Chains A and B, each alone.
Chain A
Amino acid sequence: MNLRISVLTGISGVLLIGDALRRYLTEEVFAYATAEFVAGAALVYGAVQSCPYADTTRPRSMSQNGMVRTNSRKNLGELRNEDRNMAAVKTATSPKKECKDFCVVAIFSREASENFAKAYRSKMEAGSAQNRVTDSSWKKAGSFASEDAMNRMHTTVVGTDFQDQLQALLKSKMVPHLIAVIEGKLAPANLSLEFIISGQIIDIHYEKIISIWGKNKNKIPDHKQNFFCYVRADLVSAYTCSELEIGHDAIKFTALGIDYKTTDGIKYRELIVHVPNDLAKEKAVVDTVKACEEYAKNEIKNSVFVTSIVGDTNFKYPISTYTVPSSGGDGNVNPQSSGSQSETNFMQAIPLRSDHSEHVVSQPSLLNYVFIDGDNINKEATDHPSIMHYTAHTSEIEGRDRTKLPKYYTKLGV
């Protein structure tokens, strides 16, 4: 065979042979490709423009869609259930008990007006990693780990297009079952988001299943208390949502309830919350959590396990170590929840039951930073980080229809 003239043709004297070649092929070709594929980083080189959310330059936080499920993990690789931090302080669930399914909810926290967003943006967008994490976690995790974790997060400035905002928020993250939106004036009826699964861009459709138009104490419409929720196309039959009122008398607030059932017949509910500021003062926090626990206890009568409250709690302190989000795969690096100078831990996922062996609430993980260049009409912005919430189950979630997202399941290989 005639070899073509190449600059490489003239260097046959230095070609690797034997063990050196074997080592190179194993470590730098085979292992490299495997790691890239596992990381889901097989980004389409020529399609960067058609998929602006494919970032070929930044390491991933590894909360990747596909077979890899992570939070709270430093090593890049597949996360098994036993690796995952439990949000519960005590749990009857053995961490090694086989996990069959996760309920995965992205919580996008918006700000209905730009008031608090300016301080948040100036602190988070251009600020150092130290600005972005809580002081206590900076001390706990150390500067190197904190910077490393924060460098794994994407920071994107987007316009007022809601779909663009979500696309940037979820870049390189798991494909959530539901997307709950806290605050904001409007949300479109349907979404089509691009995710990269095993190297291929796949459109995943979501449809809005509830809009809750909030009111303040004086019963006047208040965009700050609005909730919206979207469900993935294949899970429309699996989840239902409702508007709930939690607590009574002085401790009372609205929550978005997400209901589903597992194949073992157990019914579950998660509460997406935006706790009003006056219920988040130091003394009121205990009563607020107690009100939720009481609600969960009462719902047992209706055979519903209320697993957790998750969202913007406005709490300054973590309820426990792992109720606050991990960042960039590091469970000890927690994001600062606002632009405030003092430490804030608003975004939390707080388990309400620790005596049930068929489910466990895991530590939430931080989603990408999204800043909005708003307009003079909507003036929408972001003033908190957003998070992904995971509840592990020992049985599969009922009602999944794989035929609605055939490409997604083919690529996952499940």
Chain B
Amino acid sequence: MLTIRHSQLDAFETAQRGRFELEAVAHVRDRLPEYYAALGEKQTLQAVREAMADASVYGLETRVGINVYIRLAFVLGPDFATHHVWARDVLADRVADEYARVENLCAAAAQNALRGES
């Protein structure tokens, strides 16, 4: 019988996480080159990790949910989730599932972020 030790599971999870982080860094490099130039690779990675940690506080667990959170943290600021009422309301909604919350977050960002609403 195949037995997977805890250390192997940890390694697997670390590898998954590492790949996800690198994809997010690559996105910043390609789509937000000014940010990448200002931060450099190491600090971009650090910012990605910070945003991932914040996303988990709001119960975001899907790949798309975490990616959306990271992208908004970069362009709206690392505290966008507490700074903007619209973001706070959407993320605090524990009745809606993650799919609905991420969808609402995207829609609210598109509607409100440019109005300077807080």
Cross-interface CB contact of A45 among B39, B62, B113, cutoff 8 Å: B62
Closest chain-A Cβ to B106's Cβ sits at a distance in Å of 5
B92-107 Cβ-contact flags toward A at 8 Å (1 or 0): 0000011100110011
Closest chain-A Cβ to B81's Cβ sits at a distance in Å of 11
Q: Is A48 interfacial (CB-CB < 8 Å)?
A: yes
Q: Is A25 interfacial (CB-CB < 8 Å)?
A: yes
Q: Is A198 interfacial (CB-CB < 8 Å)?
A: yes
Measured in the bound complex, the distance between the Cα atoms of B32 and A3 in whole Å is 22
Cross-interface CB contact of B35 among A14, A33, A57, cutoff 8 Å: A14
Chain B interface: which size bin?
35 or more
Closest chain-A Cβ to B113's Cβ sits at a distance in Å of 6
Measured in the bound complex, the distance between the Cα atoms of B34 and A14 in whole Å is 6
Contact call A7/B61, Cβ cutoff below 8 A:
no
Measured in the bound complex, the distance between the Cα atoms of B65 and A56 in whole Å is 13
Binding site for B on A (CB under 8 A): 1, 3-4, 6-9, 11, 13-16, 18, 21-22, 24-26, 28-30, 32-34, 36-37, 41-49, 56-57, 198-200
Binding site for A on B (CB under 8 A): 9, 12-13, 16, 19-20, 27, 31-32, 34-35, 37-39, 43, 46-47, 50, 61-68, 71-75, 77-79, 82-83, 97-99, 102-103, 106-107, 109-110, 113-114
Q: Apart from A24-B75, A32-B71, A42-B63, list 13 A-B contacts with CB within 8 A.
A: A6-B79, A8-B78, A9-B77, A11-B39, A16-B32, A25-B110, A25-B113, A32-B67, A33-B64, A34-B106, A36-B63, A44-B62, A56-B20
28 example contacts (A-B, Cβ-Cβ < 8 A) are as follows A1-B83, A3-B77, A3-B83, A7-B43, A8-B50, A8-B74, A11-B38, A13-B38, A14-B35, A14-B37, A21-B113, A24-B31, A24-B71, A25-B109, A25-B110, A30-B106, A33-B102, A34-B103, A37-B99, A41-B63, A42-B63, A42-B102, A44-B61, A45-B66, A48-B16, A49-B9, A49-B12, A56-B63
